[in-house]
Amino acid sequence: MKTPHRLRARVLALALGGLGLACDSEEAFPNLDELDQLRSLHTQTRQPPKDPTNRMDGVERAEKLGDLLFHDAGLSRCGTVSCQSCHDGEGRTVDTATAEGCDGKRTARNPPTVLNAAYNRWFMWDGRADRLWSQALMPLTHPDEMNSDAQVVAARLQGVEPYRTEYLALFGREPAAESGDALMANVGKVLAAYERTLVRVDAPFDEDVRRFLAAVDAGTAEEDPAYLGLKTFLRKGRCVVCHKGPALSDDLFHNIGVEDTGPGGGGQWATLETLLGSPFNAQGSYSDAPNGTDAMRLRTLRTQANQVEMEGAFRTPSLRNVALTAPYMHTGAQATLEEVVDFYNQGGGAAGTFVGRKTDTIVPLELSAEEKQALVELLKSMTGRPR
Ligand code: HEC
Ligand code: HEC
């Protein structure tokens, strides 16, 4: 007997649905790809990767010296600003859009947290430092931040104990006998050794993802309290396209259209030459592994540099501990996580309010009130416990 046309279409649709080919809205969450993404999201209990370009990394004595220096305003020219001034408290950041440096000057951007910074591949919103130790020299010498230089730093280290003794023990020379750039690189390395200990992982989020994965196996995914948040994060919100893996970042740069037409709005493209030309990068003469994989990554960056992709692009920040680090984005213009979710829901900033071309992934999302709420809850669950 001939199957009626309509019925045949339905049978076909059911068969395709069974193969996982049905359209997104009908497909059960998670599908196989999403399951893989979910599995890669949780736990980050391992130590941050070791930095071969910094031989002080993991050296306890260096960590201790770095701790002291991080908190010492005497390294600044004005004598009142330390790293801690802008990276303090639980969130290791300030709660204002920008922060105050020497002589009342203000930073151009929102200070990111230094928690978990040692997991990052690139530093600064525009990625203009490739190593945690070379990053440290930027605020140290920036006129709007600590306004310091090798002379100020050498005088401080030579004149104050236990700095002199500890420096001598770690590097085999008196601070005053060291050349300026070498001294600064070494100070960066002990600061980075300390920062590597500032780790907050293992959040309720990780437990939720683990429990959710078990619920998927048990066939009860839809009843799990994390269902809507995770589904929105992975599927309708597409957050996982960039905020992926255990750090909830792809370590890459994207233009998501955050309002900024000022001098810093050029993002990664505007500072690429600074990074590649720096004597303090992974392949420079102060690196302890100038031919390693980190140096290779720089060479790749140079050969693959693409203005359209890099202009107005900023680093995908980790979302771990994001509830502790308001306000948000490189400008600090978004005060709450609700505002951030609204921003994404609108498809990013309006044309003309930012530099360059917005990436295709950022489009209006049409999230319901429940989905927005679930996303905000999910973001809040990403706060890790102190070690
Ligand atoms: C006056 C405020 C201020 C001071 C002082 C300051 N910072 Fe920052 N810090 C910032 C700002 C603002 C940024 C982001 C700058 C940018 O991306 O353009 C930043 C970025 C960072 C980052 C990059 C984090 C990431 O995820 O990319 C690290 C690490 C850091 N600072 C460590 C330090 C250390 C170490 C010191 C002391 C030597 C220090 N900061 C002093 C304001 C400050
Ligand atoms: C195309 C890549 C991409 C996608 C997709 C994406 N993000 Fe982002 N996210 C970024 C980048 C890049 C920034 C930093 C942008 C800036 O400051 O200019 C950012 C910043 C953030 C921040 C601010 C963090 C901070 O410390 O200031 C939050 C929160 C955030 N994203 C959450 C989300 C959520 C929720 C979604 C899904 C609705 C999402 N992101 C989708 C790339 C992306």
Domain membership flag for residue 362: yes
Q: 158 with 174: CB under 8 angstroms?
A: yes
> Which residue puts its alpha carbon closest to atom 28 of ligand 1?
114
106 and 230 fall within a common domain = no
88 and 149 fall within a common domain = yes
pLDDT of residue 386: 81
The Cα–Cα gap between 44 and 240 comes to 17
Q: Ligand 1 within 6 A of 136 CB?
A: yes
77 and 89 fall within a common domain = yes
Q: Ligand 2 within 6 A of 361 CB?
A: yes
Token pair belonging to 233 = 């994060």
340: domain CATH number?
1.10.760.10
pLDDT of residue 25: 55
Last residue of a domain, one of 168, 198, 228: 198
Domain hosting residue 102, numbered range: 60-198
Domain membership flag for residue 72: yes
184 and 319 fall within a common domain = no
Domain membership flag for residue 250: yes
Domain membership flag for residue 288: no
Domain membership flag for residue 99: yes
pLDDT of residue 45: 64
Last residue of a domain, one of 198, 230, 250: 198
pLDDT of residue 385: 87
Instruction: Tell me the pTM.
Output: 0.93
CA of residue 111 to ligand 1 center, whole Å = 6
Q: Ligand 2 within 6 A of 317 CB?
A: yes
Domain membership flag for residue 17: no
Domain membership flag for residue 7: no
Domain membership flag for residue 64: yes
Mutate to test the pocket of ligand 2, among 110, 249, 309, 344 (most ligand atoms within 8 A of CB): 344
**Average pLDDT by consecutive 10-residue portion of the chain (387 residues)?**
41 43 70 96 80 98 98 98 97 96 97 96 98 98 98 98 98 97 98 96 94 97 98 98 96 98 95 97 98 96 95 98 98 98 98 96 98 98 89
Last residue of a domain, one of 164, 198, 232: 198
pLDDT of residue 15: 43
Angle between helices 150-159 and 163-171 (to 10 degrees): 110
Token pair belonging to 350 = 């309006």
Domain count for the chain: 2
pLDDT of residue 14: 43
Q: Ligand 2 within 6 A of 241 CB?
A: yes
80 and 161 fall within a common domain = yes
164 and 219 fall within a common domain = no
CA of residue 139 to ligand 1 center, whole Å = 6
> Which residue puts its alpha carbon closest to atom 39 of ligand 1?
83
Q: Using alpha carbons only, how large is the chain's radius of gyration in Å?
A: 24
β pairing state of 253-254 and 314-315: antiparallel
217 and 319 fall within a common domain = yes
183 and 206 fall within a common domain = no
Q: Ligand 1 within 6 A of 374 CB?
A: no
382 and 353 fall within a common domain = yes
> Which of 252, 242, 256 lies closest to 353 in space, CA to CA?
256
pLDDT of residue 36: 95
CA of residue 206 to ligand 2 center, whole Å = 19
218 and 360 fall within a common domain = yes
> Which of 104, 108, 138 lies closest to 123 in space, CA to CA?
138
157 and 234 fall within a common domain = no
The Cα–Cα gap between 174 and 197 comes to 26
Ligand nearest to the CA of 309: 2
> Which residue puts its alpha carbon closest to atom 35 of ligand 1?
136
